[in-house]
């Protein structure tokens, strides 16, 4: 009788323990991002990252645009999980070599430096995905762009997906309808899409990406603008493909609203830029941003926060990579 009673208590205790464990795991998997995530575990994380980003942009102003773009290209593939940082390995096929990334996405060494600096302060605590998110904010702020409160607590993936990267990353030839649809699948509105496209107020693009536009006979490009761009972008494919041109000819190193003013004058460098103002549904948004830089910067910050919340790995999901380019051994 006593033995039966003890066995019953033991079974009840096991059931309670199992329920508690399930609740804890559920809570961990459903953890939310928080701006104070590292407040106790790594209080100097953000200031450490900021120093590295500031030095990198001071050396090369273009790096600001590259770091913003790196975060964007990460979040659009598998969510904001730092999958874009992974190199090829026996267990991983990298996303770095799909057409939208190859010889285009850059800044990996800056993220490496930031990760190394943070690891010295608090080893194994801060994810590469969070470093990407913080770096994008710091880069924007460094070139007079908006700042925002970065929500933290992302964890890093153990996989990458070239197939999803090829499918989900926008292309410089995309139509307005394609861009709106692609951003909608990520939970972003057409207004978010136009605001995020405004990051092209800084940075440069390769001849390969705008050759067809500047040599076309279309009516949606200013003739003098096209002529000037042809100086460093020969018509022959393969000739000068990597030659660079500023996405914003007016103030290429400052985060402002000149990008939208350029579109009104048919001076968008990429076809995927100009389609935002080409008689379509986003014309009014472009016009608004061209008149009101404060509205643009506010909307950009809001859209960056929304983008940074695309399917993050949190709680017990994912890992904290020791080195951003590879999965922990």
Place of tokens 């000739």: 239
The CATH number given to 176-304 is: 1.10.420.10
Predicted local distance difference test score (pLDDT) of residue 328: 85
Residue 305, both tokens = 């926060």
Inter-axis angle of helices 45-59 and 128-142, nearest 10: 50
CA angle, 306 then 204 then 105, to 5°: 60
Q: Is the pTM of this model over 0.85?
A: yes
192 assigned to a ligand binding site:
no
- Both tokens of 45, joined, read 């994380």
Q: Would you state the structure tokens that stand for residue 160, as one six-digit string? A: 């990458």
158 annotated as belonging to a binding site for a ligand: no
pLDDT value for 249 = 86
- Structural domain boundaries of the chain? 44-168, 176-304
Give pLDDT, residue 28.
Answer: 39
Beta bridge partners of 313: 155
Query: What's the maximum distance between 2 C-alpha atoms anywhere in the chain?
Result: 97
Is 168 flagged in the annotation as binding?
no
Query: What is the pLDDT, as a whole number, of residue 62?
Result: 95
**Per residue of the chain (329 residues), what is the pLDDT tens digit?**
444 444 444 555 445 444 444 434 433 344 689 999 999 999 999 999 999 999 999 999 999 999 999 999 999 999 999 999 999 999 999 999 999 999 999 999 999 999 999 999 999 999 999 999 999 999 999 999 999 999 999 999 999 999 999 999 999 999 999 999 999 999 999 999 999 999 999 999 999 999 999 999 788 999 999 999 999 999 999 999 999 999 998 999 999 999 999 999 999 999 999 999 999 999 999 999 999 999 999 999 999 999 999 999 999 999 999 999 999 86
- Of the candidates 209, 183, 206, 208, the residue with the CA atom closest to the CA atom of residue 196: 183
Give backbone dihedrals phi and psi of 142, rounded to 5 degrees, phi first: -65, -30
6 DSSP assignment: H
What is the DSSP code (8-state) at residue 198? G
Is 251 flagged in the annotation as binding?
yes
Helix, strand, coil share of the chain (percent; to 5): 50, 5, 45
CA distance 171 to 127: 28
For the stretch 156-196, pLDDT in tens is: 999 999 999 999 999 999 999 999 999 999 999 999 999 99
Tell me: is residue 74 an annotated ligand-binding position.
Answer: yes
Q: Is 162 annotated as a binding residue?
A: no
312 assigned binding-site residue: no
The architecture CATH gives domain 44-168: Orthogonal Bundle (1.10)
- Listed residue (42, 46, 299) closest to 150, CA to CA: 46
Q: Report the half-sphere exposure of 48 (CA within 13 A, side-chain side).
A: 20
Does 299 appear as a known binding residue? no
62, 71, 73, 229: the catalytic one is 73
Return d(Cα 308, Cα 297) in angstroms, integer. 16
- Cα–Cα distance between 87 and 67 in angstroms, integer? 18
The verdict on whether 73 is a catalytic residue reads yes
The pLDDT of residue 218 is 81
Matching fold, domains 44-168 and 176-304: no
Q: What is the dihedral of CA 9, 14, 15, 21, to 10 degrees?
A: 150
End-to-end CA gap in the chain: 52
Residue 329: what pLDDT? 65
What is residue 160's predicted lDDT score, i.e. its pLDDT?
Answer: 97
The answer to whether 71 is a known ligand-binding residue is no
Please report where in the chains the tokens 């040599």 appear, as a residue.
215
Q: Would you put residue 103 in left (φ > 0), alpha (ψ -120 to 50) or beta?
A: left
47 is in an annotated binding site: no
- 83 is annotated as contributing to ligand binding: yes
Predicted local distance difference test score (pLDDT) of residue 12: 53
> Distance between CA 60 and CA 66 in Å, rounded?
10
Question: Residue 206: which H helix or E strand, with range?
Answer: strand 204-206
pLDDT digits (tens, 9 = 90+) for 7-31: 444 555 445 444 444 434 433 344 6
Instruction: Return the SS3 of 319.
Output: strand
How many residues would you count in the chain? 329
Question: According to the annotation, is 200 in a ligand binding site?
Answer: yes
> Which phi and psi angles does 92 have, rounded to 5°?
-135, 135
């Amino acid at each position: 009788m006593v033995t039966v009673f003890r066995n019953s208590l033991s079974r009840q205790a096991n059931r309670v323990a199992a329920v508690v464990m399930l609740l804890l795991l559920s809570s961990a998997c459903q953890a939310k991002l928080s701006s104070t995530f590292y407040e106790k575990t790594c209080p100097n994380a953000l200031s450490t990252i900021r120093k590295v980003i500031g030095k990198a942009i001071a050396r090369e102003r273009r790096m600001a645009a590259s770091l913003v773009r790196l975060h964007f290209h990460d979040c659009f593939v598998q969510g904001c999980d730092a999958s874009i940082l992974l190199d090829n390995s026996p267990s991983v096929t990298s996303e770095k070599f799909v057409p939208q990334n190859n010889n285009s996405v850059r800044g990996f060494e800056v993220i490496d430096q930031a990760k190394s600096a943070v690891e010295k302060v608090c080893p194994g605590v801060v994810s590469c995905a969070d470093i990407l998110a913080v770096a994008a904010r710091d880069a924007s702020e460094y070139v007079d762009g908006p700042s925002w409160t970065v929500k933290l607590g992302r964890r890093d993936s153990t996989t990458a997906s070239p197939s999803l990267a090829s499918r989900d990353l926008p292309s410089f030839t995309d139509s307005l309808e394609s861009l709106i649809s692609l951003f909608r699948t990520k939970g972003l509105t057409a207004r978010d899409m136009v605001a995020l496209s405004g990051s092209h107020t800084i940075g440069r693009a390769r001849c390969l990406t705008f050759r067809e536009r500047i040599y076309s006979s279309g009516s949606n490009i200013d003739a003098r603008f096209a002529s000037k761009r042809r100086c460093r972008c020969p018509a022959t494919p393969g000739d000068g493909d990597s030659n660079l041109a500023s996405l914003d000819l007016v103030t290429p190193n400052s985060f402002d609203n000149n990008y939208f003013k350029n579109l009104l004058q048919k001076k968008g460098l990429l076809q995927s830029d100009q389609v935002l103002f080409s008689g379509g549904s986003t014309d009014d948004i472009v016009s608004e941003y061209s008149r009101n830089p404060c509205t643009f910067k506010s909307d950009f910050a809001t859209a960056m926060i929304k983008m940074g919340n695309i399917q993050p790995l949190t709680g017990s999901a994912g890992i904290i990579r020791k080195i951003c380019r590879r999965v922990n051994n």
